[in-house]
Amino acid sequence: MALSGKVALVTGAAQGLGKGFSGILLKNGAKVALLDIDETVGKSAKADFDKEYGKDCTTFLTCDVTSDEQLKDAFQKTIERFGRIDIVSNNAGTVNEIYWKKMIEINLNAVIRGTFLALQHMKKDTGGEGGVIVNTASMAGLGPVRNSPVYTATKHGVVGFTRAVALASGLSGYGVRVNALCPGLVKTPLIDNLTNEMYGRFAHLSHFTDELKAGIIEVPVVAEKFLQLVTDESNNGAVMKITGDGATYMNFKDVLKNPLP
């Protein structure tokens, strides 16, 4: 998939991974709608991109992904501004085991909301032109994180949802691929601002995250792999694990061939 002339919508785009994904899409010729709940940091990200790519390549939209209305409105505004949507990155996320219901809203429910809106806009059977969705999961979507059981649940949810909806999209002839990205620990503001308290009742186990910091990954490394999931048209239902040693596709192939009825 060539990105020149394509339009992307990225949630949680103000900083961290979302900013990295937006940057690599812009570098490869796409236009990007930058969505984030944090207006100050979001506008600053847009100003950074303006300097490199010009003002017309991005738009910043203040949006809380947990709101049906705000996310729907942001999709609509992206279409009004750029005329189409081809790529959606459901990336906004948080770690907070104290406000765990809110975390489920952001990390899982909003990914489902964003995927359904993306399908609605891009699927071929209702006049769309097809496209690709990349959902940001985590290594916590592939195995247990000892101090963060609810975060683990949300990311397992993203992986399972992505694989199932990818099959459903394929079987329905939507022309929309859906993939998931599972990075290990990445150097972003999320990790820089983690406090022991955020682990709630398991704050005494916070040192397990500190131990992982030795192998922390840089954002551009993950952004390159994100780009692969966007552009490689042979990927649908792909779940890519990224560690300091590189990226591998999880081998779910047999399950994909024989899905449950």
Q: Which of the residues 74 through 113 are near ligand NAD (CB under 6 A)?
A: 91-94, 106
State the minimum distance, in angstroms, from the CB of residue 159 to ligand NAD: 11
CA 252 to chain centre: 20
Q: d(Cα 169, Cα 150) in Å, to the nearest integer? A: 28
- 119 and 43 in contact (C-beta within 8 Å)? no
Query: What is the residue type of 199?
Result: Y
Query: What is the residue type of 175?
Result: G
Q: d(Cα 67, Cα 72) in Å, to the nearest integer? A: 8
- The answer to whether residue 142 forms part of the interface with ligand NAD (CB under 6 A) is no
- Closer of 110 and 122 to ligand NAD (Cβ): 110
Non-local (6+) Cβ contacts of 142 within 8 A are 156, 159, 182, 239, 241, 250
State the minimum distance, in angstroms, from the CB of residue 118 to ligand NAD: 15
Residues noted as catalytic:
151
Question: How many residues lie near ligand NAD (CB under 6 A)?
Answer: 29
- Closer of 78 and 91 to ligand NAD (Cβ): 91
Q: β-pairing, 58-62 with 87-90?
A: unpaired
Q: Residue 242 corresponds to which tokens in the numbers above?
A: 């990224």
Work out the angle between the directed axes of helices 16-27 and 219-231 (0-180°, nearest 10). Answer: 50
- 60 and 46 in contact (C-beta within 8 Å)? yes
- The answer to whether residue 11 forms part of the interface with ligand NAD (CB under 6 A) is yes
**Residue of 3, 7, 8, 18 that binds ligand NAD (CB under 6 A):** 18
Please identify, among the stretches 11-19, 47-55, 202-210, 248-256, the one whose residues bind ligand NAD according to the rule CB under 6 A: 11-19
- The answer to whether residue 133 forms part of the interface with ligand NAD (CB under 6 A) is no
- Closer of 119 and 137 to ligand NAD (Cβ): 137
State the minimum distance, in angstroms, from the CB of residue 7 to ligand NAD: 19
C-alpha to C-alpha distances, 100 to 106, 124, 149, nearest whole angstrom: 10, 37, 10
- The answer to whether residue 221 forms part of the interface with ligand NAD (CB under 6 A) is no
State the minimum distance, in angstroms, from the CB of residue 5 to ligand NAD: 27
Q: Which helix (H) or strand (E) holds 101?
A: helix 100-104
Please identify, among the stretches 2-10, 33-41, 50-58, 169-177, the one whose residues bind ligand NAD according to the rule CB under 6 A: 33-41
Interacting residues with ligand NAD (CB under 6 A): 11-12, 14-18, 36-38, 41, 63-66, 91-94, 106, 136, 138, 183, 185-186, 188-191
